[in-house]
Chain A
Amino acid sequence: MKKSLYELASVIRSKNSGPFQITLDVLFEEEKIYETVKRSGQITRQRIAQIYQIDEQKIRELVFFDPALGFKITFDRTISSGTCFDTDVYGAQQHVPLGEIMIPV
């Protein structure tokens, strides 16, 4: 059976990490689910680059952090926050495509 990351996570969010980067945080309530996602092999730089249509080298960080039961992905924006043709000044609504990743459970 597969479930979407959106269903499995207790927090899934995006936000600016400064005006030139977007950071995605995914946090879980249960260690078991966190471990399942971490070991699923679905969360890769290649996958994130594909979803967000960016070069892999634009992904600055993809880090799992066990004490917080979560992982973080930070990538370069294509347009900096709040200037011409940006559509999300706070970067707060960019998480949904990430949440559509399906994880075998």
Chain B
Amino acid sequence: MKKKKEIKILSPCGILGYGYPKESFMNGMRMEPDAIVVDAGSTDAGPHKLGAGVAIVSRQACKKDLEPMIVEGMKRNIPLIIGSAGGSGAHVHVVWTVEIIREILKEQHMNAKVAVIWGDIDKNLIKEKMIAGKVRPLGNLVKELTVQSLTETTGVVAQMGHEPVVEALKMGAEIIICGRAYDPSPFAAVADYYGLPLEYGYHAGKILECAALCAVPGTTKDCMLGTIRGDGFLITPLSEQRKCTKLSVAAHTFYEKEHPYLLHGPGLLLDLRDCEFRQWDEHSVFVTGSRLSRQYPYAVKLEGARKVAYRSIVIAGVRDPIMIARIEEIEAAAKEQVMAYYSDLEPEQYQINFINYGINGVMGKLETSHVRPHEIGLVMEVIAQTQEIADMVCASLRSTLLHYGYEGRKSTAGNLAFPFAPSDISYGPVYEFSVYHLMEIEDPLSLFPVELISLEEDLY
């Protein structure tokens, strides 16, 4: 392992495919970074991406972002590491990313040593661990994992720590594509590889994975540089328009986490209680005092999604004041009429739901405002066991509500303004996170196999 007194990591953007200014990126490259690390992952968009095996961003957006990273990174002979490839980091997402990288390398007439680190977890291993009592739900709302729910789950990934990424760096990989990773792990791996403190690697990684979000003004769509040393780390924005302040960097530790200063990661706990944030220069902040403790037994976070239903929706506007005044009552009556019509269906085969934007579409029963608006954005939704039932009931619901003769009606020609024709959208499957559990493991390295791949052969 090469030891360094300090390393620089360039983080181009908060999610691979979100875009970043080329000028900021080149500013970063002029600082002679030791690695380019970009996080591609998030569970924010819900369980669908993992369940259905699709990416968060378009292929074109991902390719556009990757091109400068590959070209400039190879020119400078520094590694490029992608965390949680394709958003969810499952096999299909990794393969999707590999294909894009191959295409870029081919177009640029470049060759690179490419490694993938798989984050998929064999269901048989999970079953063994379940029997041994080494799998537990992460939160009260998470359902108990059963053999059946595991079988229904498309696939399971686990968030890797820095260990397998360090392994890939040791193998001399120039481009490393990680399956699902704890967001800061690929950053921490670079620090660890060069013999620098893991606590600063992980804390810097926690900030850098969101790129310029901790700057003022903050955004995930601009570049950030992290300089990690033995005694702390420095965070520097790469656009003239942004600054990091003591407060903006300290406040970022809050972001998307359960606790403001205690962060759980794979086999570790990061404690930022006693951190000091010092203004280094006009734009940069120096952080010291991050602490990290290894947790035993080593636990990884598992994620998996399963299909639970199918959905159809209709979007419509309501402008009539008499209807708006009694909208809930009218919707209930229309629902009842539709349910009576489909009395041959079992009640558990479908559910009808209305979302009334303008009244309580966002907050539901928690809404504190009781002002009636002049218009309502209405979403009619049918959730059903099959797409056919969802489509059928949704169409009936739409026509029933359109012509429903509520008491006191004056607008007798129709109740709804549809913005689009056709009005009904057959939405497809709905997923849920069926696996969101901690699993105790023996070896954080062997769970995430590192593989050097050929640029020619297909990845099965």
Chain A residues with CB under 8 Å of chain B are 11, 15-21, 23, 25, 27, 29, 51-53, 58, 60-61, 63, 65, 67-72, 74, 76-78, 80-90, 93-94, 96-97, 100
For residue B91, CB closer than 8 A to chain A, the reply is: no
Contact B250–A89 (Cβ < 8 Å) = no
List the count of A-B residue pairs having beta carbons below 8 Å apart. 139
How close is B107's CB to chain A, nearest CB, in angstroms? 35
Contact A27–B139 (Cβ < 8 Å) = no
For residue B275, CB closer than 8 A to chain A, the reply is: yes
Contact A68–B364 (Cβ < 8 Å) = no
Q: Which B residues lie within 8 Å of A25 (CB)?
A: 251, 254-255
CA distance A11 to B257 in the complex (A): 16
Q: Which A residues lie within 8 Å of B46 (CB)?
A: 19, 81-83, 86, 89
- Render B251-271 as a binary contact track against A, CB cut-off 8 A, 1 for contact: 101111111110000000000
Contact B433–A80 (Cβ < 8 Å) = yes
CA distance A23 to B140 in the complex (A): 15
| CB-contact partner of A84 in B275, B430, B436, under 8 A | B430
Contact A11–B251 (Cβ < 8 Å) = yes
Instruction: State how many residues of chain B have any CB contact under 8 Å with chain A.
Output: 45
Chain B residues with CB under 8 Å of chain A are 43-48, 138-142, 247, 250-251, 253-261, 275-277, 308-309, 311, 351, 353, 355, 361-366, 368, 383, 430-433, 436
Contact B45–A63 (Cβ < 8 Å) = no
Q: Which A residues lie within 8 Å of B142 (CB)?
A: 20, 80
How close is A1's CB to chain B, nearest CB, in angstroms? 22
CA distance A58 to B259 in the complex (A): 14
Contact B141–A80 (Cβ < 8 Å) = yes
CA distance A17 to B257 in the complex (A): 5
Nearest CB in chain A to that of B250: its residue: A68
CA distance A52 to B366 in the complex (A): 6
Nearest CB in chain A to that of B139: its residue: A20
Q: Which A residues lie within 8 Å of B275 (CB)?
A: 67
How close is B270's CB to chain A, nearest CB, in angstroms? 14
List 9 A-B pairs, minimum CB-CB distance, nearest first.
A82-B46, A83-B432, A65-B260, A68-B250, A20-B139, A68-B251, A72-B260, A25-B254, A20-B141
Nearest CB in chain B to that of A61: its residue: B259
Contact B45–A100 (Cβ < 8 Å) = no
Contact B254–A27 (Cβ < 8 Å) = yes
Contact A89–B44 (Cβ < 8 Å) = yes
Q: Which A residues lie within 8 Å of B351 (CB)?
A: 84
CA distance A69 to B246 in the complex (A): 11
Nearest CB in chain B to that of A86: its residue: B46
Ordered by A's residue number, 24 sampled pairs between the chains whose C-beta atoms are within 8 Å are A15-B255, A15-B256, A19-B433, A20-B141, A27-B247, A29-B247, A51-B366, A61-B258, A61-B259, A65-B260, A67-B275, A69-B250, A70-B254, A70-B260, A76-B139, A77-B141, A80-B432, A82-B45, A83-B308, A84-B383, A84-B430, A85-B383, A87-B363, A94-B363
Q: If the complex has contacts A19-B47, A67-B275, are A87 and B247 also in contact, measured as CB distance less than 8 A?
A: no
How close is B301's CB to chain A, nearest CB, in angstroms? 9
CA distance A89 to B383 in the complex (A): 17
Contact A65–B261 (Cβ < 8 Å) = yes
How close is A82's CB to chain B, nearest CB, in angstroms? 2
Q: If the complex has contacts A21-B139, A72-B260, are A82 and B362 also in contact, measured as CB distance less than 8 A?
A: no
CA distance A87 to B384 in the complex (A): 18
How close is B442's CB to chain A, nearest CB, in angstroms? 25
Q: Which B residues lie within 8 Å of A90 (CB)?
A: 44-45
Nearest CB in chain A to that of B254: its residue: A25
Nearest CB in chain A to that of B289: its residue: A67
| CB-contact partner of B259 in A16, A74, A82, under 8 A | A74
Q: Which B residues lie within 8 Å of A23 (CB)?
A: 254, 256-258
How close is A97's CB to chain B, nearest CB, in angstroms? 6
Contact A74–B258 (Cβ < 8 Å) = yes
Contact A88–B254 (Cβ < 8 Å) = no
Q: Which A residues lie within 8 Å of B251 (CB)?
A: 11, 25, 27, 68-70
